[in-house]
Structure 1
Amino acid sequence: MAICKVGPFGHPSGKIGNMVFYMLNGQAVCRSKGKPGKPSLKQKANQEAMKLTMELLKPMKDFINVSFKQESAGSIKNPHNLATSYNKKQALTGEYPNIKVDYNEVILSRGTLEMAEDLKVSKGVEGLDLSWDSGIKENGAADDILMVLVSHPTKKRASTFLNAAKRADGSCFIPLDREWMMTEQMEVYVCLKSSNEKLISDSAYVGNLNGAPDSPLEKAEKMKFFAIKARFDQVAADYEKKKMDYAEGVIGTKAFRYLEKEYQVLRDKLKHLPGKPS
């Protein structure tokens, strides 16, 4: 049962039929309740995209709460809502069921503060060495603060440094205290915030370290390639041996023609099959 506290023309609160009414951040919200039907292909794609976005952003909560704080202020959206909206649209690539994260397109802040240029990252001893151009062309200050986020996708974790250095420093060291951090996939992002935290820059992708593991699709393609390659090697050896016999006039059978046909089909398939080692 729903209640209208301000009369019949006010916003209800509660359940009416299969609809639930409530207030969220000062806004009246209505959602349906009940068992959903079988999802369409488009719905499945949307669900997969949302799942990937949530998995990406969940470890980044501490960073996002600061980086999107100013943009979310005074709106009905919180920092996580903004990060989800940006990255679900911008940071995913591919078609369902092969959607994946494009780490180069991840957005972790939006703002007008000037971002540093010539960003570089490399592995140091027990951590990362970051450097950047400390100069200012338009708007910014020497005491702007560098925020750093290191994403560890294979572990579904992130390392957050909200006050890593000042713009004027031009470089800093990011300590990583777990042994696996230095060998697993790392995606590095930074942004700058003013010392009074009223201004922030767009985030910047600094780069990848240690590469990235194969996706399920890429693993399946490689397994298929190597299975066909193994069959081709077996057929090719048999074909070359019997071709010599055929040239000497020893055989000219239907079995040889079938073997020759399989050899040609497998050879042509391997030329265009995905999953070939680079």
Structure 2
Amino acid sequence: MGTLDNGAFGHLRGKVGNLVSYTLNGKNVVRELGQTAKPPTRPKLANYQKMAVVNAFLKPILPLINLGFAFAVQRTDRNQHNEAVSYNKRFALQGEYPDIEMDYSKALVSKGELPPAQSPAISKLPNGVEFTWQIPADMTYADLYNRAMLLLYFPESKTAIFDLSGARRSELRDFIPLEPAQLTQTIHAYIAFAGDDRLSVSDSVWIP
């Protein structure tokens, strides 16, 4: 059942017939629900699987996505999650239906204009993972004080550990503690940087 906020002249909210209304970025959106008795085609099934694969990757890292894609959606009607889905669905998948999967080396969890991490690397230590990176000699003073955003993604369990406000870029290293069992799992690592305004960010970099 749909309702009218603020009386007869307000916004429709909910479902009425084959129309559904919702609020997106402060705007009232009304769309028609599609109805079909035909079985989905192979391209549609492939699209469903692409969406499912990307959403499974993004689900445990939504706070990171909200920060990492904030710059990309500034002054648009899009939101961070939709932008992240759109990018990774287009550029970070491999295989054909029904065997579509993530290409983690091409995934982005942050998209912006700050300088990306230079020569990033990780090292597994007995109690966690150390991230290291370098900085070019001509880097600006402001960029030296960007903070690292770190992600460790575990594909078998589809879980993640991340730090949204890590070490300053000038510190050249940071560390995420892990349990011994986590260190035996496959890990995909990513690093990006964010300014103190939490709007300016860099593209993320996958670390092999």
Give the TM-score category using the shorter length: 0.7 to 0.9
Report the counterpart of residue 19 of structure 2 in structure 1: 19
In 2, the alpha carbon distance for the partners of 1:86 and 1:5 equals: 40
Report the counterpart of residue 93 of structure 1 in structure 2: 94
Per the TM alignment, residue 138 of structure 1 is displaced from its structure 2 partner at its CA by 5.5
Residue 95 and residue 15 in structure 1: after superposition, are their counterparts in 2 closer, same or farther (change >3 A)?
Answer: same
SS in 2 for 1:135: coil
SS in 1 for 2:71: helix
Matches within 5 A, 1:204-243: 204-207=205-208
Paired residue type of 2:66: N
SS in 1 for 2:144: coil
Report the counterpart of residue 175 of structure 1 in structure 2: 177
Report the counterpart of residue 76 of structure 1 in structure 2: 77
Per the TM alignment, residue 122 of structure 1 is displaced from its structure 2 partner at its CA by 1.5
Identity of aligned residues (%): 32
Question: When the two structures are aligned, how many residues end up with a matched partner?
Answer: 203
In 2, the alpha carbon distance for the partners of 1:15 and 1:67 equals: 33
Whether the 8 Å contact between 1:145 and 1:166 is mirrored in structure 2 is yes
Higher helix share: 1
SS in 1 for 2:96: coil
Paired residue type of 2:123: S
For normalisation by structure 1, the TM-score amounts to 0.66
SS in 2 for 1:83: helix
In 1, the alpha carbon distance for the partners of 2:23 and 2:138 equals: 45
Whether the 8 Å contact between 2:153 and 2:187 is mirrored in structure 1 is yes
Report the counterpart of residue 147 of structure 2 in structure 1: 145
In 2, the alpha carbon distance for the partners of 1:170 and 1:13 equals: 50
Paired residue type of 1:106: A
Per the TM alignment, residue 79 of structure 1 is displaced from its structure 2 partner at its CA by 1.4
Paired residue type of 1:125: P
Report the counterpart of residue 121 of structure 1 in structure 2: 122
> Is the aligned partner of 1:38 residue 2:39?
yes
Residue 184 and residue 17 in structure 1: after superposition, are their counterparts in 2 closer, same or farther (change >3 A)?
Answer: same
Residue 15 and residue 123 in structure 1: after superposition, are their counterparts in 2 closer, same or farther (change >3 A)?
Answer: closer
Paired residue type of 2:95: G
In 2, the alpha carbon distance for the partners of 1:114 and 1:63 equals: 18
For normalisation by structure 2, the TM-score amounts to 0.86
Whether the 8 Å contact between 2:135 and 2:170 is mirrored in structure 1 is yes
Residue 141 and residue 78 in structure 1: after superposition, are their counterparts in 2 closer, same or farther (change >3 A)?
Answer: same
Report the counterpart of residue 63 of structure 2 in structure 1: 62
> Is the aligned partner of 1:105 residue 2:106?
yes
Per the TM alignment, residue 11 of structure 1 is displaced from its structure 2 partner at its CA by 8.1
SS in 2 for 1:70: coil
Higher strand share: 2
Tell me the alpha carbon deviations over residues 87-119 of structure 1, each in whole angstroms, 9 at most, x when there is no partner: 111111111111111000001111111112111
Q: What RMSD, in angstroms, separates the aligned Cα atoms of the two structures?
A: 2.5
Per the TM alignment, residue 21 of structure 1 is displaced from its structure 2 partner at its CA by 4.0
- Higher Rg of the two aligned structures: 1
Report the counterpart of residue 198 of structure 1 in structure 2: 199
In 1, the alpha carbon distance for the partners of 2:12 and 2:200 equals: 39
Tell me the alpha carbon deviations over residues 3-60 of structure 1, each in whole angstroms, 9 at most, x when there is no partner: 7955xxx986665643334443304230316575311101100001111011110011
Residue 30 and residue 128 in structure 1: after superposition, are their counterparts in 2 closer, same or farther (change >3 A)?
Answer: same
Per the TM alignment, residue 171 of structure 1 is displaced from its structure 2 partner at its CA by 1.5
Per the TM alignment, residue 69 of structure 1 is displaced from its structure 2 partner at its CA by 2.1
1:158 aligned residue (160, 166, 173): 160
In 2, the alpha carbon distance for the partners of 1:143 and 1:197 equals: 12
Per the TM alignment, residue 143 of structure 1 is displaced from its structure 2 partner at its CA by 1.0
Gaps in structure 1 of 5+ consecutive residues: 208-278
Which structure has more relative contact order (CA 8 Å, sep 6+)? It is: 2
Per the TM alignment, residue 137 of structure 1 is displaced from its structure 2 partner at its CA by 3.8
